[in-house]
Structure 1
Amino acid sequence: MAEQRPVLQLRVVMEVDDFEAALAFYRDTLGLDEQLAFEGEGDARVAILDAGRATLELANHAQKDLIDTIETGERQGRGIRLAFEVTDGRGTTRRLEAAGATIIGEPRETPWRSLNSRLESPTGQQITVFEELEDSEERRQREGFGTSDER
């Protein structure tokens, strides 16, 4: 019997000023499926959107600065950035822009072989849209990649 993992889900909770606009952007334009929604007293509302597999990316300051520079040409402010893996990086970027997102960095290929763009969503959150251009096995064979256990 496999050991039960202690953490089953990563959920990012964003407080938004315009709930309907945020729902339209993330659910309808980006395409995140709505799993559950709740309405409570005092106009309280929440929608839980399925973003597929969740990961927590930990980056030190040097890596964060490198990613900012690659995606936007300059360092961005501190904070949490949401990143969404998509199948069509250029098309998704254009759809999000048409839905009110501001492009901070146009789609560009990164040194780790993904196509990344940086946007600010209508909710004010910086997001990265990325399309993998090689699979993880190919990437793992290149210098500097792998897990800490493999080094």
Structure 2
Amino acid sequence: MTLQQPPKQLRLIIETDDFDSTLHFYRDVLGLTEQPAFATDGEDRVAILNIAAATIEIATPTHVRNIDAIENAPSAEGPTLRIALEVDDTEVAMTSAKESGLEVIAPSTRTPFETINGRVQGPAGWQVTFFQELETLQERTSREGFTTDAHRRR
């Protein structure tokens, strides 16, 4: 059975013992807008940060290792928690992340799929990849190698 309508929102929940620095990074450094959220009192804290669009990327370990190689990033053992955020300027995002004290995992790199990617070790154990699109989705889909999995498997 399939839902009649697809889900309306993707929400990643990042559980962290260092709430303040995690919130500072996503809200203050990256500029995500905070919306009202319910919590009780004391240590019960939550922040919901809004982003314009979300996608779910499902990848095999081989694909993840290939992306690590393209980005000149070390490959981790086993699955990692990673967020990829599209930004207008990867260099500016990387500089902001470094200035806020985050470790650079992979410097800004132009990829063969026409993005500029850079990766930092974000708060709460999540890796954060910043990517800047250099061409439109329409331009990209006309190039070799860009298709859906359903078409690739035919």
TM-score (norm 1): 0.90
Query: Where does residue 108 of structure 2 map in the other structure?
Result: 107
Query: Where does residue 128 of structure 1 map in the other structure?
Result: 129
- Name the amino acid aligned to 1:10: L
Residue 12 of structure 1 and its aligned partner are, at CA, apart by 0.4
Q: Give CA deviations for 1:82-102 in whole Å, capped at 9, x if unaligned.
A: 010000110111001101111
Query: Where does residue 36 of structure 2 map in the other structure?
Result: 36
The runs of 5 or more residues in structure 2 that have no matched partner are none
Residue 68 of structure 1 and its aligned partner are, at CA, apart by 1.2
Question: 8 Å contact 2:109–2:118 — kept in the other structure?
Answer: yes
Secondary structure at 2:145 match in 1: coil
Query: Where does residue 64 of structure 1 map in the other structure?
Result: 64
Query: Where does residue 120 of structure 2 map in the other structure?
Result: 119
Name the CA distance, whole Å, in 2 between partners of 1:27 and 1:120: 16
Name the CA distance, whole Å, in 1 between partners of 2:74 and 2:24: 30
Q: Give CA deviations for 1:92-151 in whole Å, capped at 9, x if unaligned.
A: 110011011110100001111000001101332111000001111111011010224555
Matches within 5 A, 1:23-102: 23-77=23-77, 78-102=79-103
Considering fraction of residues, name the structure with more strand: 1
Name the CA distance, whole Å, in 2 between partners of 1:6 and 1:133: 29
Name the CA distance, whole Å, in 2 between partners of 1:66 and 1:27: 31
Q: Which moved more, 1:115-124 or 1:73-82?
A: 73-82
Secondary structure at 1:137 match in 2: helix
Name the CA distance, whole Å, in 1 between partners of 2:124 and 2:106: 17
Name the CA distance, whole Å, in 1 between partners of 2:115 and 2:76: 20
Q: Which moved more, 1:19-28 or 1:70-79?
A: 70-79
Name the CA distance, whole Å, in 2 between partners of 1:4 and 1:53: 21
Runs of 4+ with >6 A deviation: none
Residue 6 of structure 1 and its aligned partner are, at CA, apart by 2.7
Q: Which moved more, 1:121-130 or 1:103-112?
A: 121-130
TM-score (norm 2): 0.89
Secondary structure at 2:129 match in 1: strand
Residue 61 of structure 1 and its aligned partner are, at CA, apart by 1.4
